[in-house]
Amino acid sequence: MNILILGYGKMGKMIEQIALSRGHQIKHKISADNIHELNQIDPKEIDVAIEFSEPGAVISNLYFCFDHHIPVVSGTTGWLDKRSEVETHCMQKNGAFFYASNYSLGVNIFFHINKVLAKLMNRYPDYDVVMEETHHTEKKDAPSGTALTLAGDILDEVVRKNNWVNHGGKNASELPIISHRIPNVPGTHVIRYTSQVDDIEIKHTAHNREGFASGAVLAAEWIIGKHGVFGMDDMLEF
């Protein structure tokens, strides 16, 4: 594949390494420093784009891909309030869009376990639920996109919780998400159900970014030739 990388930070560099190791070519690497080069790209040279930029750039990056019929895989977080209109634009352009808040295989198994546990714990109101997420200090959004995915699945199943808050919850209907930012932490997520007699806890700890980058490259390989809006559940057939 000929790949366009949109966002050339730590994740972009890791994606480049893994893509090259799998026999792909990086045709262009676009970051804030050379964003003016984006409109000089010949879309016919690009098979797929992988987008890990920042919240302020993601919408324009995605629309560029949709408008030029370039399949795009994105993992940027902090923009999901506009997700509906972005997906609508993709469909109007007959584009291909793959989005995940986290591309790690382990995290997506964790997502599935979280849904199953939340459905079970809905039956037991004596248990309260809280989430903690820890990431590196360069991460600009809080809570993390992964935490928001986990929270959404909990809110779908645990009817006594109506919304999430990014602090210790004051109301019984709130799902607290406690965010920590510590240097050199790829990502840790903990979901804890607590009662007066015991706690139940599930946890995912990433050791490095390689799992995220590998999943994004696999998604880029998978989306070639497809049209529509996709996620990890589609690729992994959960």
* Residues acting as catalytic residues: 135, 139
- Is residue 175 within 8 A of residue 131, CB to CB? The reply is yes
Cα(208)–Cα(49) distance, rounded to whole angstroms? 23
Helix (H) / strand (E) containing 25: strand 25-30
As beta bridge partners, residue 132 has 178, 190
3-state secondary structure of 11: helix
Cα(121)–Cα(212) distance, rounded to whole angstroms? 29
- The burial of 141, by beta-carbon neighbours within 10 Å (0-12 exposed, 13-18 middle, 19 or more buried), is given as middle
Closest CA to 143 of 189, 186, 94: 189
3-state helix, strand, coil in the chain (%, to 5): 40, 25, 35
Pairing of strands 96-99, 72-74: parallel
CA distances from 140 to 76, 78, 137, 163, 207 (A): 11, 8, 8, 22, 20
- Is residue 8 within 8 A of residue 31, CB to CB? The reply is yes
